[in-house]
Chain A
Amino acid sequence: MENSNEVTIEQLKKQLDVLQKKVGKLEKNRKDQLSMAVVSGDFDKILATMIISLAAAAMDTQVKLFFSFWSLSALRDPKKSPKGKDFISKMFGMMLPKGKDKLSLSNMNMVGMGPMMIKMLMKKKNVLSLEEMFKQAGELGIEITVCEMSMDLMGFKKEEFIDYPHLRFAGAATFVADAGESAIQLFV
Chain B
Amino acid sequence: MTNEELKNLKSNLVVDARGTACPGPLLAAKKAIGDIESGEIMEILSADEGTKNDIPRWCDKVGHEYLGFVDEDSFSRLFLIKE
Contact = CB atoms under 8 A, between A and B. Distances in A.
Contacts of A126: 19-21, 24, 47
Given A60-B61, A60-B62, A126-B19, A55 B24 contact: no
Nearest to A139: B31
**In the complex, which range does the number of interface residues on chain A fall in?**
10 to 19
Contacts of B15: none
A59 B62 contact: yes
B61 A51 contact: no
A129 to B, nearest CB: 11
A178 B32 CA distance: 30
A29 B74 CA distance: 45
Nearest to A54: B23
Interface of A: 51, 54-55, 58-60, 125-128, 136, 140
Interface of B: 19-24, 26-27, 29-30, 47, 54, 57-58, 61-62
21 contacts: A51-B23, A54-B27, A55-B22, A55-B26, A55-B54, A58-B23, A58-B27, A58-B29, A59-B30, A59-B57, A59-B58, A59-B62, A60-B62, A125-B21, A126-B20, A126-B21, A126-B47, A127-B21, A128-B24, A136-B27, A140-B27
